[in-house]
Structure formats: structure tokens, C-alpha cells
């Protein structure tokens, strides 16, 4: 039997509850070494661009029903408990922790010290223990990397222990299934087991920041992409999957601050939480998204993809494993990335929605009440074919465009957004419909990307500052009468429908869905937020 060893590297594990270990402990290995280890251990293969292709096994996405938060004196009255934040007993966490430590004690592990938060005043020091080499490479890519030679022998502010091979016993450990992700805010630790989906680590830390930043730093955490123009004007883009968040923020004329997670400080700065990008690659092409295409090279990871038969070329159209195929790469693989990822307060905020009912205007301006209400609603619509059983458009509401990552009640984040708007009176908030026009899905057609880009450019460059706006009769948002480069007839969605009565009925029906969704928040929402609700339509 191997002899237990102690070394400066192994000592990094002691604050995480590890005793002496008998397996090799690799600390802060560079990407090339991690790629070599992953290949040696049979964890993946190299593609013809040099990227490492890996599979995540049974779980090809997060498992939200198996994500828990420890309920103790520190979280009892602050966490928004329910189907999203599922309580977990402290003693069960301790038991699970001890079992995971024992499981890893004789195994080769990969340890990484990193940061979350590009702004030095809001950084979270991280220590991650991985069973898999490619997971440690994922953490190198997605979290912020200390400068070469920096001393990271500090106590972490938060740690992650991730062991996909460790399976919980639900009857004994208090989990729902063998897989789990448990956050303990008191012990500052996340335990992840039974799943190899790397995104659980990234989103686990996002959940931590969504709790800590509003509490301790009066900083608004945001599930959004962000970029900055040549004149220093910042823009942020909120949107659920399929709305164009990554595509529309990737602008060769603007610097990319980040593609997914940011904070907005009391001092007015926007900063990236991450050091990389985790982008979907289903149907990826060089023509549609050249920045992502060119970033998939040596050091990058592709998940759950497949090769073109007989080659090592990735077939991005292949959905045989999942539609949620992804790539993970450091942000400096994007040519126009801003490092460090910090910029000034946003001048423009975009809420992106793919409205498959064809009701919402392609661009509209929001006042404070509408902004807070629509932020809390987090609306988009799924269309037929995106999931089994969906044969017609279905509404999707996700509070603050990321409900599954919110430990606090959504009203907390919405009120913070309203406060930011008060503190930055020149900020413009826009609702952008990247979905359907001329009718609902099946009758109308998808808004042309070129028109959407023209509308966003017009908003960013101030071309809409002198345009006349008119209120939408149902949703109350302000619709511009003209946008350079965009046909005026598509700006009013009702005008694009051949059957105007059908439009009115559909608009009313969607408004009713908004109101019904908001009922679960109404008792906690202030009147200023409720004032942004849609009204019963008046036929015009």
C-alpha cells in the first residue's frame, strides 16, 4: 500500500478537510501538462485544431433538481428557499464531505488556485480539487488565472471538490440521486459528485457570487454578456438560451468584457466574473461565429461533440450526444477581449427575447418600472422541435434571466437594477425581440439578424435619441417610429400581421401569461415594479 505523504502541494488540501494522501497531487499545472494527463488517462482526444474533446457522461447539462444549499443559521432567513434553492441538512453535508475526502485520498488529483471576479476589490479566491485532469483545464480556462509566479498559498474564500466518480447513496446522504451539487455558505465549500458536466463548477461559483455580492458589497450580479465601444461606452446583454446573447455581444468593433457573468459595482463599474468563455457550438460555423470558431484550438475544450467519420475534424452538426455541445477556452483566445475585464457603467442595457408568438416589437425602450418588471419576468419562448413534446410555442420565464442561479428572492436583484438606473440616469434600457414577426411561429418568420444588429447599433450610437416613440398598447413599452437601416413597417409588430384581430388576441394572451407568471412574486414586489405589468389590450 502506498505510504501517505505530506508536501507543500498536498498541504493545500488540509484546509479542505484532507489528511495525508497516497495519490499524486498536481498543483496549478499549465494547460499543456493537463492536456497530456488527460490523454494519458483516456479522458479525451485531440481534434485536428488541437482542442481537447471530452465527454461528460450521463449528464450533458446541469441537474437543477440535484443542486442544494445548506440550510443553517446563516442562510435560514436570507436564501429564497423552494424548488430552485433546495435545502440540505448541515450534518448531511459533513457526512458527504468526509466520504468524498476518503474517496479521493488514494487517487491522483488535480488542484487549482484561481479567482472569480476581474475587479480587484471584489475577487473571490478559489481552490478547486478535481478528480479529472480535463476538469482542471476547464477551471484554468473559465476562472481567472493568477499571474505567473504569484504566491497562491492563501486560504481560499471558497473551494470546490469535484469527483464525478463518487456516487452518493440517496437513502443515507440526503441527496435525490447519486449525483449532487451542494453549496455550503458557512463552510465556504461546494461539493460536486456523480456528474462530469463541467458547467456545474462554473455555475456553482456564479451562485455563490449571486449570494455574496448583494449581501457584502452592494454589487449587482448579472447573468449577461458585456462589451465596450472605442469611446468607453459599455453595453450589457441579458438573455436566455437561444436569444442571441453571445452572438449579439460579439462585435468586432467593440471589446468583449465577457460572455456570461458580470457584476455592477456601487462605484459604477462593470466587471467580468470569469477568465474565459463557455459557448454552445451546435451547428457552429466559421461564417456565423468566426470568433468562437477561431478560439477552438490547443488549450480549448470541446464537450460531447463527435468527429466527422474517419477524421479528427469536429462535426458541429452532430447532435447524437446532446444539443448542448460546448467549448471552453480562455478569454484571451478572443482577439478583441478586454483584459482585465473591467469597464465603466453601462450606457445601454439590452433584454433579449426570442418571442415565438410574434407579439413584441423588435426594439422598444423601457422606463424604470418596465425594466424592473421585465427583468423579473425574464421572458423568452421555446419553439417546436427544441424539446420533445413541444409542438407549438411555449412561454419560458426565468427571473432576472437566470432564476436557477439566484439564492436570493428575485425582487432583491430587480430593486438593485432600479437603484442602478437611478444612480445612472443616462442609461438606456431596451427590449430586443430576436424572435418572430409577421405572425407567430409557423406563420410568421424569424427577425433577420441584420435588422437586429442595425437596431442595436442605432441604440449604441445614439441614433434613436431624437426619434419619436409611441407606447405599445398592451405592454406599454416605447416603440421607435424609425430606425436607420430597418424598414419602418416591421417596427410595429401589429402592422406585420395580415390578421390584425389575431394579433390582438395573441398579444392579450401573452400579456395574461406574464401576469400569471408574476403572481408568485407579487406579494414581495413594490408598486414601482408592479406598474410595469402589461395591461389588457385595447384594439387599435
The catalytic residue positions are 62, 203, 223, 241, 245-246, 260, 326
Helix (H) / strand (E) containing 209? helix 199-217
CA dist 385 and 242 (Å) reads: 13
Q: How far is CA 33 from the centre of its chain?
A: 28
CA dist 535 and 524 (Å) reads: 20
What are the cell numbers at 219? 454589487
Q: How far is CA 512 from CA 371, 381, 537, in A?
A: 18, 15, 10
Instruction: Say if residues 246 and 278 touch (Cβ distance below 8 Å).
Output: no
Which residue's C-alpha cell is 475587479?
119
Q: Which long-range contacts (CB under 8 A, 24 or more apart) does 490-496 make?
A: 490/362, 490/437, 490/447, 490/451, 491/361, 491/362, 491/363, 492/361, 493/358, 493/359, 493/360, 493/361, 493/362, 493/433, 493/437, 494/540, 496/358, 496/437, 496/438, 496/439, 496/444
Q: How far is CA 209 from the centre of its chain?
A: 12
Backbone phi, then psi, for 390, in 5-degree steps? Answer: -90, 115
CA dist 11 and 492 (Å) reads: 64
Amino acid at each position: 500500500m502506498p505510504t501517505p505523504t505530506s508536501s507543500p502541494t498536498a498541504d493545500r488540501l488540509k484546509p479542505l478537510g484532507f489528511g495525508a494522501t497516497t495519490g499524486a497531487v498536481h498543483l496549478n499545472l499549465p494547460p499543456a501538462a493537463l492536456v497530456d494527463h488527460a490523454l494519458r488517462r483516456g479522458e479525451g482526444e485531440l481534434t485536428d485544431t488541437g482542442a481537447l474533446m471530452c465527454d461528460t457522461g450521463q449528464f450533458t447539462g446541469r441537474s437543477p433538481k440535484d443542486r442544494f444549499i445548506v440550510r443553517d443559521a446563516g442562510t435560514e432567513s436570507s436564501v429564497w428557499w423552494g424548488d430552485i434553492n433546495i435545502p440540505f441538512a448541515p450534518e448531511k453535508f459533513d457526512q458527504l464531505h468526509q466520504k468524498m475526502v476518503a474517496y479521493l485520498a488514494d487517487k491522483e488529483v488535480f488542484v487549482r488556485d484561481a479567482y472569480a471576479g476581474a475587479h480587484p476589490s471584489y475577487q473571490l479566491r478559489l481552490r478547486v480539487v478535481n478528480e479529472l485532469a480535463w476538469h482542471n483545464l476547464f477551471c484554468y480556462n473559465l476562472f481567472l488565472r493568477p499571474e505567473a509566479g504569484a504566491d497562491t498559498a492563501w486560504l481560499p474564500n471558497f473551494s470546490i471538490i469535484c469527483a464525478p466518480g463518487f456516487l452518493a447513496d440517496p437513502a443515507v446522504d440526503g441527496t435525490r440521486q447519486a449525483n449532487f451539487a451542494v453549496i455550503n455558505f458557512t463552510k465556504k465549500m461546494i461539493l460536486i459528485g456523480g456528474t462530469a458536466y463541467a458547467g456545474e463548477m462554473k455555475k456553482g461559483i456564479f451562485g455563490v457570487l449571486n449570494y455574496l455580492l448583494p449581501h457584502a458589497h452592494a454589487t449587482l450580479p448579472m447573468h449577461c454578456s458585456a462589451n465596450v465601444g472605442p469611446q468607453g461606452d459599455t453595453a450589457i446583454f441579458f438573455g436566455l438560451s437561444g436569444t442571441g446573447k453571445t452572438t449579439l455581444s460579439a462585435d468586432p468593433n467593440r471589446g468583449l468584457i465577457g460572455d456570461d457573468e458580470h457584476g455592477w459595482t456601487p462605484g459604477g463599474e462593470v466587471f467580468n466574473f470569469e477568465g474565459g468563455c463557455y459557448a454552445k457550438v451546435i451547428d457552429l460555423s466559421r461564417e456565423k461565429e468566426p470568433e468562437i470558431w477561431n478560439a477552438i484550438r490547443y488549450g480549448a475544450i470541446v464537450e460531447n461533440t463527435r468527429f466527422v467519420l474517419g477524421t479528427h475534424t469536429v462535426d458541429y452538426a452532430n447532435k447524437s450526444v446532446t444539443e448542448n455541445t460546448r467549448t471552453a477556452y480562455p478569454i484571451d483566445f478572443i482577439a478583441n477581449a478586454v483584459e482585465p475585464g473591467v469597464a465603466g457603467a453601462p450606457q445601454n442595457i439590452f433584454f433579449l427575447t426570442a418571442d415565438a408568438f410574434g407579439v413584441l416589437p423588435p426594439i422598444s425602450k423601457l422606463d424604470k418600472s418596465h425594466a424592473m418588471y421585465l427583468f423579473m419576468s425574464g421572458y423568452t419562448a421555446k419553439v417546436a422541435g427544441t424539446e420533445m413534446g413541444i409542438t407549438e410555442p411555449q412561454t419560458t420565464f426565468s427571473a432576472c434571466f437566470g432564476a436557477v442561479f439566484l439564492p436570493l428572492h428575485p425582487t432583491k436583484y430587480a430593486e438593485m437594477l432600479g437603484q442602478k438606473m437611478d444612480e445612472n440616469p443616462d442609461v438606456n434600457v431596451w427590449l430586443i425581440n430576436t424572435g418572430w414577426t409577421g405572425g407567430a411561429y409557423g406563420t410568421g418568420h424569424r427577425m433577420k439578424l441584420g435588422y437586429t444588429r442595425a437596431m442595436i447599433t442605432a441604440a449604441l450610437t445614439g441614433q434613436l435619441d431624437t426619434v419619436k416613440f409611441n407606447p405599445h398598447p398592451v405592454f406599454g413599452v416605447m416603440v421607435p417610429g424609425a430606425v436607420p437601416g430597418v424598414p419602418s413597417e416591421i417596427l410595429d409588430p401589429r402592422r406585420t400581421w395580415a390578421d390584425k384581430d389575431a394579433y390582438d388576441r395573441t398579444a392579450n394572451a401573452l400579456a395574461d401569461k406574464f401576469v400569471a407568471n408574476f403572481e408568485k412574486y407579487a406579494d414581495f414586489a413594490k408598486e414601482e415594479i408592479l406598474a410595469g405589468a402589461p395591461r389588457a389590450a385595447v384594439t387599435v
